[in-house]
Amino acid sequence: MAEDNTDTGKPDEMVKMTVAGITLDPTNNMPIIILKNPDNDVAIPIWIGLIEASAIATELEGIKLARPMTHDLLKNILEGLGGKLIKTEVCDLRDNTFYALLFVNLDGAIVEIDSRPSDAIALALRTNAEIYVARKVIQKSQRIDLDVLKNVLKEADENKESGKDKWTEILESLNPEDFGKYKM
């Protein structure tokens, strides 16, 4: 396992991350987004809702829908108003809940907007904005062992088609009543 140097530096320091993938928690079938830093020496899991997972998965897989979904709409509104998403930050972890901020440039002023991490990540993927995680969040979170991350990513590569089929099956099986079941 690579040396973990996330305990060095200031707690309010930000670490650039990328989306390594989405998987399902085997204990409760809830989606988990895996963020990793470019050096591959730290990764964190963030449990997210099914709807948000589908928004992230469609963007990761390059699926274009006939009509804009919520995150596409938000991107279009930002661009229509002359704004630009500069970056997103997963800035805190309290009581097992992650918190995030959007940093939007609007006419030269940077506006910070409170967000759920899943929404921030879905929007960042659509706008090519950078994703950061506070070092204190990395330190507080249950980091996954890099071997576990490598196995998740290897499995995703080996079963790329079945992975798409799994998400398609989940999304197609949803009823409108199901959306009220998930606490976000």
Residue 72 forms part of a structural domain: yes
The answer to whether residue 80 is domain-embedded is yes
User: The tokens of 29 are what?
Assistant: 């079938």
Give domain status of residue 170, yes or no: no
| For range 58-87, the mean pLDDT | 91
Q: For residue 178, is it within any domain?
A: no
The residue whose two tokens read 């499995």 is 155
CB atoms within 10 A of CB 148: 14
Distance between CA 27 and CA 62 in Å, rounded?
Answer: 29
Where is pLDDT greater, at 101 or 151? Answer: 101
CATH number of the domain to which 88 belongs: 3.10.690.10
Residue 1 in tokens: 């396992």
Q: Is residue 179 one of the residues assigned to a domain?
A: no
In a domain? residue 169? no
pLDDT in tens, 117-129: 999 999 999 999 9
pLDDT band, residue 181 (cuts 50/70/90): very low
- Overall number of domains in the chain: 1
In a domain, 164, yes or no: no
Q: Is residue 33 part of a domain?
A: yes
The model carries a pTM of 0.74
3-state DSSP call for residue 28?
coil
State the residue range of the domain holding 128: 14-157
